[in-house]
Amino acid sequence: MGTVTKIARKWPTVVSALIVAGIAAMNVMAYRHAHAMMHFGGGTARTDKPERLNPAERIRVLICGVTVPRPRTGLGTSALDPRCRALTIPCNGQITLGAWYCPSSPDAPLVILFHGYAGEKTGTLREAKAFLELGFSVLLVDFRGSGDSSESYTTIGYREAEDVAAAVAHARQHLPHSRVILYGQSMGAAAVLRAVDWFGARPDAIIVEAIFDRMLQTVRHRFEALGLPSFPGAELLVFWGGLQAGFNGFEHNPAKYAASVACPILFLHGADDVRARVEEARRVFAAVPGSKQFEVFPALGHEPSIARYPERWKEAVGPFLKQAEAGVARSGGNSTAVPLKWLFRGM
């Protein structure tokens, strides 16, 4: 009985130790996952989409994290148009952004395009060509860490909002276009709305595609794609990712930024998007106080709608921009006011 009694007395200590060890292991894995997702490597093989991984690969990803090579631009400017030329845009004093600029005509509105996570500027090549056909000029921008830009990290749209604001400022100051339209896909869409909300970007119209409503929510969907419960893994990933990058990931919410949108905005979304679900995008849509439209594409996942529905894309985008253009003409131009939040951003 003495041995049994001793084991019984030690059992709570053993259980406590196992719980502590389990919590520590989860935090270590979350830290590694966050670092892997937000820091681009030098390899060439990127981890496949979670739903495409076999059980062994999913276990490996769970333990080691994903592999995301630095996105690189493998095409020349002529892939867009012979008139296209490369630009470098300064951002925040030290960061430089690679970009391609293709003018349609000096008086044509300029569409600035921003790619999604782990992408680069040629990810918006199809959209840029379509905008040129519609008579617009285009500026395709690499976010920091991608393509021809400096750095080697991403913050899933948080600090990339500075890149959006820098691109808008550069266009206003150095390119001959009085009207600016912003086009963002997924992470790019989040960066666009944050740029409007926090950095005082004032476009004449906005188009966002496959946007998520909250950082935490989109991370939860990654766990679901792996067939794993999202709690508490998603919370830990957002916490450690934000801590590493120096911001609060739980506050990175496009549904909050959308309240600052003061120009016409068009939402494009896939009906079968499991990364950013339609109902979540509609929450962002609902937060916009002014002129807005929402276009749903059937049987489309988290991918560019123009690839599957080129004609329907034009039917949605063309009339929207004409209406936005008419609105700008009636109002006599776009406001350049900067919100108080931007003035107090360092506090």
pLDDT tens, residue by residue, 153-205: 999 999 999 999 999 999 999 999 989 999 999 999 999 999 999 999 999 99
Residue 340, CA distances (Å) to 164, 198, 255, 287 in order: 19, 9, 19, 20
Among 168, 190, 165, smallest CA distance to 178 is for: 168
Mean of per-residue pLDDT scores for the chain: 88
pLDDT of residue 228: 79
Residue 101, pLDDT > 70, answer: yes
Q: Is the pLDDT of residue 103 over 70?
A: yes
Confidence of residue 44 (pLDDT cuts 50, 70, 90): low
Domain boundaries of the chain, sorted by first residue: 2-64, 77-214+252-332
Per-residue pLDDT for 247 more than 60?
A: yes
Task: Evaluate the omega torsion of the peptide bond into residue 319 and state whether it is cis, within 30 degrees of 0.
Answer: no
Class of domain 77-214+252-332: alpha beta
Does residue 31 have a pLDDT over 60?
yes
Mean pLDDT of the 226-253 span: 93
Locate tokens 């916490």: which residue? 239
The residue among 141 and 49 whose pLDDT is bigger is 141
Per-residue confidence (pLDDT) for residue 59, from 0 to 100: 64
Give the pLDDT band of residue 107 (cuts 50, 70, 90).
confident
pLDDT at 115: 98
Cα gap 276→219, rounded to integer Å:
10
What does the pLDDT look like over 295-337, one tens digit per residue? 999 999 999 999 999 999 999 999 999 888 776 555 554 433 3
**Cβ neighbours of residue 254 under 8 Å, at least 6 residues apart?**
157, 189, 190, 193, 194, 211, 212, 213, 214, 284
Nearest residue to 64 (alpha-carbon basis) of 84, 83, 82, 41: 41
Q: What is the pLDDT of residues 76-95, one digit of tens each?
A: 999 999 999 999 999 988 99
Reported confidence tier of residue 6, pLDDT bands at 50, 70, 90: low
- Mean pLDDT value of segment 24-42: 87
Alpha carbons 227 and 180: distance in angstroms, whole number:
42
What is the spatial distance between Cα 80 and Cα 137, in angstroms, rounded to a whole number? 12
Percent of the chain whose predicted confidence (pLDDT) is above 70: 85
pLDDT at site 43: 64
Q: Is this model's pTM higher than 0.75 or not?
A: yes
Contact 320, 266 (CB under 8 A): yes
Other CB atoms within 10 Å distance of the CB of residue 250: 13
Phi/psi of residue 136, nearest 5 degrees: -95, 155
Name the residue type at position 345.
R
**Locus of tokens 């997702």:** 37
